[in-house]
Structure 1
Amino acid sequence: MLSSTWRRFKLVLWGESPPSKHERILLAKIDWFILSYCCLMYFSNYLDRSNISNAYVSGMREELNMVGTEFNKINTIFTCGYIVGMIPNNLMLQVISPRIWLPCMQLVWGILTFCTSVVKNVEQIYAIRFFQGMAESSTFVGTHYILGSWYKPKELGKRSGIFTSSGLIGTLFSGVLQAAVYKNLNGSAGRSGWRWLFIIDGIITLPIALYGFFVFPDLPRTTKAFYLSDEERVLAYERLEDIPVLEQAKSRPLSWSLLRRVLGRWRWYACSLLFAISGETESFGSNNLMGQWLKAIGGYNVEQIDFYPSGMTAFAIVSTLVCATWTDHTQVRWPVLVYMSIACIVSAICILVWSSPTGLKFFAYYLAGASYAGQATTFAWANQICADDDQERAVVLASMNMWNNVVNAWWSIVFYPATDAPRFRKGAIAMICVSVATLGITWVVYTLERREWRRREVDGVPFEKADPRTKDGPTEKERTSIAKD
């Protein structure tokens, strides 16, 4: 009885085990070496990215004489660099070994993090953050491209969730780290606590990059990883080619035909629009609204202002992991976007009603952490939709994040300026609007995906082959509905 319960729990938590012992060993190896590096890389990425918010409320604003919306401009300039680097970074993975390219980009942003510790004015931060954004743009979509190259759809959601959570852990750790640094190192060697934060972040980042040079396995067809035998290297790509539709996804030379394929299908437009809008539900967390609110209303010391917003990040991690596990078990992605949209609407309403008690506002900000659950699910969904064209998949994944950051470049200045603290009325209204829009766009992507299934059925492709890389395809209820259509 106990053994049967454990097996069912394990099935839901980690999915069905591969049928052969050799594949189980291979999956364990790539889980360890791919996820360990990607998660550590993304952890340091978010640590370096979120430290600017923690530094701002921990003395940087006063020391650099920052006024008005200069903090928002730092985020906007970082986003501009992120946008510029997005698609080139992902296409470089088609040309240069990911084992070389990704750690090199990490070394670049680690060095730039060190540079931030010695800035004398906000203009120097502007320049550093632009180039840091270019380097850091390699990580998120690059890793989702790598994950989609190694894993089947029923394995992909939870791995994407673990990866996304590692970035959130970086954010969580950044707040805790800044509080500890401010308490123990502020004034040491003549440096402010916020400057020590950037030094420690850089020290954490560089060894992770060196680890990537040694252990990252590249792609299944090109891997030369020392820990994989010749048989395992062959199995790594053959296990994905068991499904005939995946034959179309084999690597091909870069050419202008890629542009025709991308622009001639619905996938690029719909998936890009989905994350461009749904990604803005993360605005409460990405702009550290809770920290700015606590600082503006007074009554909280620096350690509390750094530490209390960690509750939002903790809830984001739990939401991401639970939702990612559930989507792999059910092979249905869209309900996660519905969950996060409703949570963000409730959160925004609680914050918008300014007469609400402080405890309810704490609850509202923490609930807004649900918005991060959509990251892993949206990119796992796009990986699955585009699985039959490797190059299109690389462009679509990069474009999703690129268009989201195009919106990010001006979104925080318009709706979340630091001068609006502590109320952020415009921001709360904007959150309700983007959450409702996310619900609508989710329905559009779901409908277009069903239409593609239906077209494949008309073309004579069986349902079990219609949904790339998965034997499940649409559910039995969806099959009946599509047949009626």
Structure 2
Amino acid sequence: MGNRLVQYFRGEQNAPGERKLVQKLDFFILTFCCLMYFVNYLDRTNLNNAYVSGMREELGFRGNQLNQINTVFTVGYTIGQVPCNILLYYIKPRIFFPSCMIAWGLLTMVTAAAQKPQHIMAIRFFQALFESSTFVGTHYILGSWYTSKELGKRSGIFTASGLAGTMIGGFIQAGIHSSMDGLQGLSGWRWLFIIDGIITLPVALYGFLLFPDTPRNTRAPYLSADEKALAIYRVPEVSERTPISWRFLKHCFGTWYWYMFVILWILAGETESFSTNALLQLYLKSHPTNKYTVSQVNNYPTGVPAVGIVSTLFWATLTDFMGGRRYLVGYWIGITGVITSALILAYPQSTSIHFGMYYWAGSVYACQATFFAWANDVLRYEEDSLRAVVIASMNMGSNAINAWWSIVFYGANFAPYFTRGMYAMIAVSIAMAIWTGLLVWMQVRTEKRRQVDEGITQFAAKEHDLGDADRVHGVEPGREKV
């Protein structure tokens, strides 16, 4: 076991030069993608931080307007999923990712000029269109470069960077509120949007200059010709067809991959609802007895993404080490969702129970890395365009449900207890565990069929070779020499 652990963390690359290649990929791909996702989450989650830091009062928010803005963002994010991943098929990622970053960074800065909630709604819709490229696009890129034994850990590191953005965003808002509120006549929450937008621009420039695109079209100056050839060799060779055609669509919807993985991520996305809807922040803001300062409302919930980071890295590493058993996270989610919701329902007046359960629920974030790595694993032997569309459709389906799910079950007017949402969480958590089992069954069935097909192909090739050898020696194929 000790030797296996050492080998795993050192890497399992065997081909000459493979270890050096993976180190280069880790540096250039992961640094850019993680920085991109980090600032993506800074720009995305700062709305909740701003809301509890004076924006609600200054812009006159009423009722569920915060949830409506989040819904508008979700609609834009949903619309952009599949088109963005298809565009990656035609536009080099080195151009596409940074261009989207510049667009959403500028829109983030424009948010500082908003004078009413409707202004923010319009800005967030277009911001979401450009931000939709980041998450699913990166998972497509990771699946293009890394083997199944390497993928989970890298997906975990990438996902953790977004959670770090969520966590640090609270500290940034608290710091800005205490040091910059009123500077140049601007509220602290307005400075938050300006600073977050500025941070985005140098990361985009880094991507323009050094991102390596995909193995088959990379021109990265730091990769030698041998390393480029090795990068192509490391991933299975698959057939290709354009993703914009009726033939492709028929093929896509004729497979089980699309349906099973999209529903998997729809369920998983709703099990993240406690964290993605900032319920702990809203709980603190609307606490029936305790009054919390702006700094406390921003800082205390940072424990949720902190738990998410630890859980994500733990499960991503463990499932890699265990040979890609990503399904284990589905069962963990089921247990977590049922217990945390049940305890909050059972002890509505206990502040400590609420804190503990919301923190524990942050561990559900682990499904982001492991489930998209799972999809990449299963689709590794399918064409890239199908893999790109399935991965994008997963997030698209989840966000399509989120567009109304958060209002129905986790509206700000339901704070501080969100009783309706607790029952919904129990239901989707049980469904998550059941669906995970069904997907495992489909995966095993498909892998067995592929092994049989490969065996038949190899046998036919062997028979063909033997027949050719017999003809060379003047013997009729299929007859023995006498």
Q: Contact 1:249 / 1:387 at 8 angstroms: preserved in 2? A: no
Question: Which position in structure 2 is the counterpart of 1:391?
Answer: 385
1:120-131 correspondence to structure 2 within 5 Å = 120-131=115-126
Does 2:399 align with 1:405?
A: yes
Separation (CA, whole Å) in 2 of partners of 1:300 and 1:100: 45
CA distance in 1, matches of 2:219, 2:394: 30
Partner of residue 301, structure 2? 309
Other-structure match for 1:332: 325
Render the CA deviation track for 1:271-316: whole Å, top value 9, x for unaligned: 0000011111111111111011011114210000000001111000
| Letter matched to residue 426 of structure 2 | I
Would you say 1:269 and 2:259 are equivalent positions?
yes
Q: Matched residues in 2 for 1:17 and 1:436: separation?
A: 36
For 1:195 and 1:463, how far apart are their aligned partners in 2?
63
Q: Percent identity?
A: 50
1:199 corresponds in structure 2 to: 194
Aligned to 2:279: 289
TM-score (normalizing by structure 2): 0.91
Tell me the matched-pair count.
454
TM-score by length of 1: 0.91
How much does 1:248 deviate?
2.2
Equivalents in 2 of 1:16, 1:91: separation in Å? 32
Distance 1:125 1:223, change over 3 A: same
Number of the residue aligned with 1:61? 56
| 1:376 corresponds to which of 349, 369, 379 | 369
Unaligned 5+ runs, structure 1? 241-245, 465-485
Query: Is there any run of 5+ residues in structure 2 with no aligned partner, and where?
Result: 459-482
Question: Within 5 Å, which residues of 2 pair with 1:146-161?
Answer: 146-161=141-156
Contact 1:344/1:367, CA 8 A, preserved across alignment: no
Residue 367 of structure 1 is matched in structure 2 by 360
C-alpha distance in structure 2 between counterparts of 1:339 and 1:21, whole Å:
39
Residue 34 (structure 1) aligns with: 29
CA contact (8 A) 1:275 1:401 kept: yes
- The Cα shift of 1:252 comes to 5.7
Contact kept in structure 1, 2:163 and 2:308, CA below 8 Å = yes
Q: How big is the shift at 1:172?
A: 0.4
> Considering only aligned residues, what root-mean-square deviation do their CA atoms show, in Å?
1.7
1:337 deviates by: 1.4
Q: 1:249: Cα distance to partner?
A: 4.4
Contact 1:15 1:154 in 2 (8 A): no
* Partner SS for 1:398: helix
Among 226, 230, 233, the alignment partner of 2:225 is 230
Preserved contact between residue 307 and residue 362 of structure 2 (Cα < 8 Å): yes
- Deviations 1:99-129 (CA, angstroms, capped at 9, x unpaired): 0001100100000000001101111101000
**1:447–1:463 distance in 2 versus 1, CA, 3 Å:** farther
Cα gap change, 1:254 to 1:15, in 2 (>3 Å) = farther
Q: CA deviation at 1:168?
A: 0.3
Aligned partner of 2:116: which letter? N
User: What residue number does 2:338 align with?
Assistant: 345
Structure-1 residue corresponding to 2:103: 108
Deviation at 1:430, TM superposition (A): 0.9
1:217 equivalent in alignment to 2:218: no
**Pair 1:371–1:463, CA change in 2 (3 A):** farther
> Counterpart of 2:471?
none
Pair 1:90–1:366, CA change in 2 (3 A)? same
Give the corresponding residue for 2:160: 165
- Measure, in 2, the Cα distance between the counterparts of 1:387 and 1:258: 17
- Paired with 2:281 and 2:434, the residues of 1 have a C-alpha distance of 31
Q: Does 1:431 align with 2:425?
A: yes
Q: Secondary structure at the match of 1:347?
A: helix
